[in-house]
Structure formats: C-alpha cells, structure tokens
Amino acid sequence: MPFMAKSGGIEVFERCFRSCCRFLGAAAFILSGAAPVWAADPATPIETGAGELEQIVVTAEKRVSTVLQTPISITAVSGDELLQRGISSLNDLALETPGISMKQFSPAQTEFEMRGLPSTGGSSTTVGFYINDVPMAASANSFNGKPMIDPDLYDLQRVEVLRGPQGTLYGAGSMGGTIRLITAEPEFSKLLATSQSVISDTKNGGVNWRQAAMVNLPLVDDRLALRLVGSVEYDPGWITDYTVSPFPYNETGGSCGFSTCTRGNVTQAPVVAVAKGVNWERMQGDRAALLFEPTDKLTIDASFMYQDLSLGGFPQVDQSPGVSIQDLAHYQPYNVGSSFKDTFRIASLALNYDLGFARLTSASGYWNHESNWVLDASEWQQYAGATFFGISKPNPTVYPNTDSVRQWSQEFRLTSQGDSRLQWVTGIFYSDFKSRVYQFATDSAWPPISVGGAAANPLGINFAINNPYWTSQWAAFAESSYKLTDTLKATVGVRYFQYTSKLDSTIAGVFAPTGNAAPTYFSGSTFASGTNPKFNLSYQPTDTLNIYGQVAKGFRPGGINYPPPATLCKQPNITYGPDSVWDYEIGEKTRLAGGRITINSDFYYNRWNNVQQYLVLPCTYQFSTNAGTAETYGPEIEIAAQATQRLALSLNGSYTVSHLVYVYPSLAGSTLGASQPLESGDPLFNVPSYSITEAATYTVPLNSDYELSARLSATTTGPTWDINYYVGRLPGYTATDLRLGLAGGHWRTFLFAHNLTDKIAVLTASTMTWIGPLPPIYRPAVTTPRTIGVEVNYAFGH
C-alpha cells in the first residue's frame, strides 16, 4: 500500500472526505426512511429469547465466535450499549471494565494498564491497542509516559477488551492485554443515517455541546457502499488560572532550591490577572469507510480516520499551602498562556479472499499522531535555577514540546474455515515505527552560566532536545485449536519476533551533557528476538458453560535513554533490555436461568521478569531501567442479570496485588523519586488495589412504541501509588452517574448527570514529566466536576 506512506496523498484524501462529512448533521435530518434502525446492531446478531441477555459476537481469535465460546478473559461492548450508557470516550469505558487501570494526564493523554502491569517505564506500552486490524503504538520516548490516541466512539460496532498476554496473535506490547475498537462497516442494502446532539453544563465551567452524525450510502447493490461519520464537540473549561505577584516561591521568604523550598500561600499574594476556563476543549473527528465486494470471494475494505483535539491547557490543578484540589485553580508567577493540540490520521486497507479451505487476509495500515503543547515553566525555572545556579528570579518562560509518531504496518494471515475439529490461523507481520520528541526552552537570565567550566550560553538555552527514535520489527505466528472430544478443546500458539531500535539524540543547554549551548550528539541501538508461546485448554459441556485454563507469555521490546547532564546527574544506563511476563489463569463463563444471568470470572497470576522501571534522579532526570522481578495477581469478575422483566443489574470488579519481589543488586537502595530506596515489596505505579462498578437499569414501557428507562451506576477505584518527584499514595474515590431515557420510533432522548456527587479526586500525580518533576510543585490531574445535560439521538433507514 505505497500510497499510504506519502503524507501528501493522505492530506488530499483527507480534504476530500472531510468536505463531505461537514454535511452529515444536516443530512441526518433531511433524509427520511420507513423504519427505525436502532435494533440493527451488527455486533449482536445472535438471536436470544425473551428476557435473555444478548450474546455479542467477537473476533478476538481472528475468527467469529461469541464471548462465551472464546476461552480467554474478554469484555465486549456493542455500539448500541455504548449509546445506551452514554459512553463516547475510551476512558469512560475503561473505568467500568474490570482489570483496566489508567494514568490520565488529560484528554488524548491517557496511558492504559491491565492486570497490574504499568506502562510508564520502557519504550512501549504493556497494553496493545488496535483500531480494526491496525496496531497503534505510543511514542517511544515521550515525556508524558505512553499515552494512546483517544478516538471518538460514535458509530462503533463494538469494543473488545482482551485481558492477559496476547503475544501470539497481537505481538509485542500486549503483555497485559489488548484493546480493540471495531468500527461499523458500510452496509450494501440500506440507506441509513443517525445523529446525536448533546448539550450540558459543568459545575465551575459553562455550557458544553456535541454533535455527531453518520450516513451509510449503498452505491452499487450488494457490491459497493460508503459510510461517513463526523463529530464535533466543545467544552469551555472549568479551571481558573491566577497570576500573582510577587509570587511566594518559599513560605519562609528568601531564595531557595527545590530541595529546600515549600511553596508559600499563593492565595495571600496580590492577584494581577485571572483567566477562567483555561482547560477549554474543542474536538473534531471524521471517518470514512468504503466496502467493495467485486466478487463473491473478494472483499476490499478501505477506511480513513481523522481527529483534531485542541485544549487551552491540561485539566491539572494546584495543591499547595492554602490551595486544595477542590478549588480547581492554578497559580503562576507570570501571565503565561498554555495550549495543547493533538491530531491523528489513520489510513487502512483490508483485503479478504475466500480460498474455500481458508480465508486469506491482507491488513495494511499507515497512521501518524502528533501532540504539541506549550506550558508555563516559570516556577520550575525558579526552583531549578536557584538549586543549581543561584538564580534568584526567572523571566517568564514557556516550554514548547512536540511529540510525533508515525507507523506503517502490514500483516498477511490465513485463517481456516469450516467445522472440522482442527482450526488454525497463521501469518506474518511487519511494522516500521518512528517517534520524535522535540523541546526548546530559553531564559535570558541564564546566559552567564557556565556549567563545569563549559563556555557561556549566549542564547540562554535551558534545554533543547531532538530525539528521533526508530523501531522496526517482524514476526511470524501460528495458533491452532483441536477438539479432543465434543466438549474438550486444546489450543497451542507461538509467535517468533525480531526487532531493532535506534535512537539519534541531539541535546543542548544547561541541562544537557555539555552544560551549555554546544550540542551533544548521541546514537544508541538495541536488538532482540524470541518467541511467545501460548497453551489453552477449555471444557464446554453445554452451550451455557465454558471452563478454561491458560498459560501464555507476553513480551515488550527494550529501549534507549537519552544522556543526562553529566555535571548534575549520576550517569544511569543508556540502553535497557526487553521484559516479559508469564501469565497463568483459570476462568469460567456461564449463562444461568435461561440466559437471564451471565457470570464471567477468572483468577490470574503474572510473573513479570526484567521489569522496565521508571526512575527519577535527584537532578530531575527521568529514565528507564530493568529493575528486577515483579508479580501481579487477583480475581476479575463480571455479573449481569435480568432480574425482572424491567430491572437489569450488573456488577464488574477486580482486585489486584502488584509489587516488586526482587530488585537487581546494582539498583537495590538506589534512589527512587530522589528520596525512597528501590527494594523488594515496592508497589507498582498507577495500579488501583481494587475497582468495582455497580449498575442498575429500570425500564417502564409506556405503550407499544415508547419506553422510559433509568440507569444508575457507581464506579469505585481503589488507592494507587504514583511518582511525581517523590512516591505517594493516591486515595481511592467513587464516581456516580445517572441516566434517564425516553425511547420510541426514531428517537432516543436522555437526561444525564456525570459525577453526580461532584467528587473531585486525583487521577494522576506525575503530570510534570514533560519538564522534570520538582518537590515544591504538585499539580495533579483531577476528575471533571458534576456535569448535567440532555442528549438527543435520531436514527432512520431503509
């Protein structure tokens, strides 16, 4: 698919279809049809009896089956259920899914973890992320951890969350599990359109709005169809910035360094400027899919997705003397504005050919993702400058950061067909990945500085870095299952992989290895190969019970650190090796009471070897290293029940134990967060000890055409450990949502309240990694205040 490797071609294609997508909102109301289309959800084609819970069809094992028939731990949510629950972002879905934890900086800046395996350290994630057949990857050397893209979930067919290592079929970076977003395909026989309009109000903020729409156009009967999706939304923000002068850098007055400072009470300082709603948010997303079936054996599926997100700033607030996170405020010494922009484009082409005995699939994908932000670094300059260089007062300082990623991938696979006892899938995979981090910050107060006898810095460069990072990998995989009896099935899989990573780094400034404007050039590389095996045994005596056990291995590539300022920091390792996990689990899936109750549960134990650990040195330099061995284990459970004809109940939960069990002697007692030793028993970061979601839905039919519904849900997230400059424990919290609906004919209308109790809780403490965490500055990311609104959905088609 060479045309996808040219950005110019993508931009032309993007302009063409985005022009069409702008008409979607109007088209959804102008077109008319005879029958409502709410029931036409391709994710749930399995018919069920009256009162039975739906059975969702999935393709987690590269073939069609139901959740119950798939002998792994999996949660599947259909597009219709996403709509019913009011879920439009992956973050909202992850909160209600057992086994998933998150490190949330802001929209489009979320790092996902599963089964207690954090992604903060290393050059890749521990959770795989796919949009259809296209693997997505986080930046290899981002200063914000491993955040994934945050696509709008409107008009999805389903979401599949696969827990546990998926190294056989999904490869590197799927140690803890894999998240798959399956978009709705074009339909040959129906002219369809849907629309969603949302207006709401957030406490401490203002009026938010959202508009999304879809049009499905059959172009040639049973041969060619086009599906267009578009969405826009706006949030005016709910955080207030205060500029105060003089700024109380130290509660006792006078100059100090970051190791001796405690920020003074900023609320007592004179306010010189106020800016409300600084974390405003604006998003626009478009998607086009073209499905072509030239013959009965060949299907061609081409798609393109674009999304642009702009923020006035991250949803992070101050916590310091006199300031609580409940104040939803940020204080700064200068009136320096912030901004954030995140854009991604994804182009894919899937070809499926029916060979009779097997299906041949070619899945090609090209995508790019770029994040740009400019944030205030004036206060950071004061503490760092005073500590290392005796500077008493900094100038206003903005700190720009660019983080870009692009990847081309290709997979060929053969999947067996038919009903024989032996089923198999085999294939090859290749990807070419590049990420680049760029930062540049200056302060005219710094030019006289000469670090370690180095020449002066005439431009006042604090830190300038250009870090292109490449990873190329290929793999061959095979997985087969055999029915030993009518009820007992054995599955064996293996994947051979090989990768090469390379970092070319250019660094200048007082926090660079030279200590001045002279750049340091550095190049490093790493290589590894290996295999990921999988063994699974499942017993399904009836259509309503499946019991399984599995042993599987997951793998993550090693990586390369950029060099630190030699005059300020102890030199850590430059390269670090791959890590891997062995997962042992048993589980069951059952349908009881005639399909009115489903219980899916499992218990797992992970042995994580050569753990890639994130560390912070006293000079604020951050790096990754192989720290030792860790273990994670616990139960996961999902229960759903149609208690009565009108009342549906659900309970999802997990309990997670995750900690280091062995630390390499070379690291034992080393500094973690500049104050605490790294030792056996230390908890792993960003992993809640437990999470539980309870939901109740009550439906009342008004007549043959209309019904009322009410859904109340509460999600409790247990305490977690996180690292800013020091390691700290974040308390748990509970978020409650309420949703009231009226549905009938072509319409569904909902009144909703998110975060009904207005709970402001810390999501992530480590939000300063883009510049270097310092003890006096604590600016955590927090939950969104209570939001109340109305949502109107309209659908028709024939």
In terms of Cα–Cα distance, which of 57, 107, 101 is closest to 77? 57
Taking only the tens place, the pLDDT of each residue in 217-229 is 999 999 999 999 9
Task: Give just the sign of the alpha carbon dihedral 119, 125, 126, 129.
Answer: positive
Q: What is the pLDDT of residue 416?
A: 96
In terms of Cα–Cα distance, which of 393, 378, 377 is closest to 256? 393
Nearest-5° Cα angle at 687, 654 to 697: 40
Q: What is the pLDDT of residue 46?
A: 55
C-alpha atoms less than 13 angstroms from C-alpha of 663 in its C-beta half-sphere: 19
Element (H, E) at 384: helix 378-389
- How far from chain centre, in Å, is Cα 653? 20
Q: Using CB atoms within 10 Å of the CB of residue 211, give its burial: 0 to 12 exposed, 13 to 18 middle, 19+ buried.
A: middle
Q: What is the pLDDT of residue 448?
A: 59
The number of residues in the chain equals 798
Q: What is the pLDDT of residue 458?
A: 74
pLDDT(646) > 50: yes
Q: Using CB atoms within 10 Å of the CB of residue 550, give its burial: 0 to 12 exposed, 13 to 18 middle, 19+ buried.
A: buried
Domain ranges of the chain: 2-797
The predicted model gives 617-621 an average pLDDT of 74
Q: What is the pLDDT of residue 708?
A: 96
Residue 206 DSSP code: -
Of the pLDDT bands very low, low, confident and very high (cuts 50, 70, 90), residue 392 is low
Q: What is the pLDDT of residue 515?
A: 74
Residue with tokens 């017993």: 539
Q: What is the pLDDT of residue 25?
A: 38
Q: Using CB atoms within 10 Å of the CB of residue 349, give its burial: 0 to 12 exposed, 13 to 18 middle, 19+ buried.
A: buried
Of the pLDDT bands very low, low, confident and very high (cuts 50, 70, 90), residue 692 is very high
The predicted model gives 505-514 an average pLDDT of 82
pLDDT(589) > 70: yes
Question: Are the C-beta atoms of residues 554 and 581 closer than 8 Å to each other?
Answer: yes
Question: Are the C-beta atoms of residues 330 and 318 closer than 8 Å to each other?
Answer: yes
What whole-number percentage of the chain has pLDDT above 90?
Answer: 59
Of the pLDDT bands very low, low, confident and very high (cuts 50, 70, 90), residue 191 is very high
pLDDT(363) > 50: yes
User: Per mean pLDDT, which range of 104-108, 599-603, 636-640 is the poorest?
Assistant: 104-108
Q: What is the pLDDT of residue 3?
A: 32
User: Please, which residues bridge with residue 243 across strands?
Assistant: 273, 332
In terms of Cα–Cα distance, which of 663, 724, 654, 712 is closest to 687? 654
Out of 258-272, 520-534, 631-645, 681-695, the most confident range is: 631-645
Backbone Cα Rg of the chain = 27
Q: What is the pLDDT of residue 624?
A: 85
> With a threshold of 0.85, does the pTM exceed it?
yes
636-674 core/surface letters (b: 16 or more CB in 10 A; e: else): bbbebbbeeeeebbbbbbbbbebebeebbeebeebebbb
Write the CB contacts of 367 (distance below 8 Å, at least 6 apart in sequence): 134, 136, 344, 345, 346, 347, 406, 407
In terms of Cα–Cα distance, which of 289, 310, 156, 344 is closest to 233? 310
CATH topology of domain 2-797: Maltoporin; Chain A (2.40.170)
Q: What is the pLDDT of residue 39?
A: 33
Write the CB contacts of 515 (distance below 8 Å, at least 6 apart in sequence): 450, 451, 452, 454, 565, 566, 567, 568
CA distance 438 to 417: 49
Higher pLDDT, 503 or 47: 503
CA distance 383 to 51: 63
CA distance 311 to 309: 7
Taking only the tens place, the pLDDT of each residue in 141-155 is 777 778 888 899 999
What whole-number percentage of the chain has pLDDT above 70?
Answer: 89
**Would you list the DSSP string of 701-752?**
E-SSSEEEEEEEEEEEE--EEEESSSEEEEPPEEEEEEEEEEEETTEEEEEE
The predicted model gives 540-563 an average pLDDT of 92
In terms of Cα–Cα distance, which of 345, 406, 405, 396 is closest to 374? 396
Residue with tokens 């939960």: 653
pLDDT(189) > 60: yes
Taking only the tens place, the pLDDT of each residue in 11-65 is 433 444 444 444 333 333 333 333 333 333 334 445 555 578 889 999 999 999 9
pLDDT(8) > 60: no
Of the pLDDT bands very low, low, confident and very high (cuts 50, 70, 90), residue 676 is low
Is the bond preceding residue 246 a cis peptide, omega within 30 degrees? yes
CA distance 98 to 602: 11
Taking only the tens place, the pLDDT of each residue in 732-752 is 999 999 999 999 989 999 999
- How far from chain centre, in Å, is Cα 569? 32
Higher pLDDT, 749 or 105: 749
Higher pLDDT, 672 or 137: 137
Residue 451 φ/ψ, nearest 5 degrees: -95, 125
pLDDT(300) > 90: yes
CA distance 766 to 773: 8
**Would you list the DSSP string of 107-142?**
TTEEEEEETTB--SSSSS-SEEEEETTEEE---SS-
Taking only the tens place, the pLDDT of each residue in 396-425 is 888 888 999 999 999 999 999 999 999 999
Q: What is the pLDDT of residue 571?
A: 65
Output helix, strand, coil percentages for the chain, rounded to the nearest 5. 10, 55, 40
Q: What is the pLDDT of residue 28?
A: 36
Mean pLDDT of the chain: 86
Write the CB contacts of 772 (distance below 8 Å, at least 6 apart in sequence): 380, 384, 511, 620, 621, 622
Residue 295 DSSP code: S
Q: What is the pLDDT of residue 114?
A: 94
Question: Are the C-beta atoms of residues 493 and 534 closer than 8 Å to each other?
Answer: yes
Q: What is the pLDDT of residue 447?
A: 60
